[in-house]
Amino acid sequence: MSHPTDGNCIFCKIVAGQIPCFKLFEDDATIAFMDINPVNPGHALAVAKGHWPTVDVIPADVLAAVARTAQQVAKAVISELKPNGVNLLQANGEGAGQSVPHLHIHVMPRRPNDQVALNWDYKPGNKAEIETIWKRLKAVL
């Protein structure tokens, strides 16, 4: 299967076998490997083989394949490492903390007091503002 590639992308180089990785799983559309900068032991990545930077440009079927691979890896992490929880994180763009512009899902085992900062404080939103944004989004969906 042919995939779009970017010769400067570290994940494309891993997919092509030019950079080694601790590979967990591979199929036609995806690859999963250990994150070498883990937030906790067992932190892994489910990655599209093709070079699509973000969720808005990846084909839906490839995104679904990445999600299936992330689920498979998460099940292995849960059964084998028995964390208190698992975060699946998929960031899009620098503002969201995406460090490699190639679509991937982090599978992050969580432990009590692990100091991983992903949560936010809940505060009520402005209902009128929520409704205005809702109308705009609903109109384009």
In a domain, 5, yes or no: no
Cα distance between residue 14 and residue 47, in whole Å = 10
In a domain, 4, yes or no: no
- CATH number, domain of 88, equals 3.30.428.10
Catalytic residues: 104
In a domain, 3, yes or no: no
In a domain, 90, yes or no: yes
Residues 30-43 as b/e (b if ≥16 CB within 10 A, e otherwise) read bbbbbbeeebbebb
Total count of domains within the chain: 1
- pLDDT tens readout for residues 27-80: 999 999 999 999 999 999 999 999 999 999 999 999 999 999 999 999 999 999
On average, the pLDDT of the chain sits at 95
Domain extent, residue 118, equals 10-140
| Residue 86 CB neighbour total at 10 angstroms | 20
In a domain, 1, yes or no: no
> Which one has a higher pLDDT value, 2 or 4?
4
In a domain, 44, yes or no: yes
DSSP H helices, the chain, are 10-15, 60-81, 127-140
